[in-house]
């Protein structure tokens, strides 16, 4: 099993990391480590996140106010968004083609 980010989600991850890096290099490192840890958990337990609809799931990070929006597609966990919990609710829905 492996994880793949759609381009928009990859960009969100980079933007969040860059933003945190401007404030604190340690915070940015902790953020990346937490995302990596979440991905590793999802690779072991793909259905760990809470179900939404259309087989989409959401997994909340513990320390940072972000959620991973993903779908299990066979042997792939496709990450559709690295979404901040207080910004633009549901904006990522248009990324998920059914």
Question: Model confidence over 1-23: pLDDT tens digits?
Answer: 999 999 999 999 999 999 999 98
Angle in degrees, 0-180, between the axes of helices 25-44 and 7-23, rounded to the nearest 10: 150
Beta strands in 1-98 (DSSP E): 2-5, 50-51, 56-60, 66-73, 76-84
Q: Which of helix, strand or coil describes residue 29? A: helix
Task: Tell the residue number behind the tokens 């404030």, with chain if given.
Answer: 23
pLDDT surpassing 80 at residue 98: no
Residue that the structure tokens 């809470």 belong to = 50
What pLDDT, in 10s, does the model give residues 69-87? 999 999 999 999 999 998 8
Which CATH number describes the domain made up of 2-87? 3.30.2310.20
Mean pLDDT of the chain: 92
């Amino acid at each position: 099993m492996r994880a793949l980010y759609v381009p928009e989600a990859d960009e969100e991850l980079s933007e969040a990391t860059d933003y945190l890096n401007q404030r604190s290099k340690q915070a940015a490192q902790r953020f990346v480590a937490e995302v990596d840890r979440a991905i590793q958990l999802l690779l072991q337990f793909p259905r760990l996140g809470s179900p939404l609809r259309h087989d989409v799931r959401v997994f909340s990070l513990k320390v940072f106010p972000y959620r991973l929006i993903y779908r299990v597609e066979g042997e792939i966990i496709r990450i559709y968004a690295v979404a901040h919990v207080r910004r633009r609710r549901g904006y990522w829905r248009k990324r998920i083609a059914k």
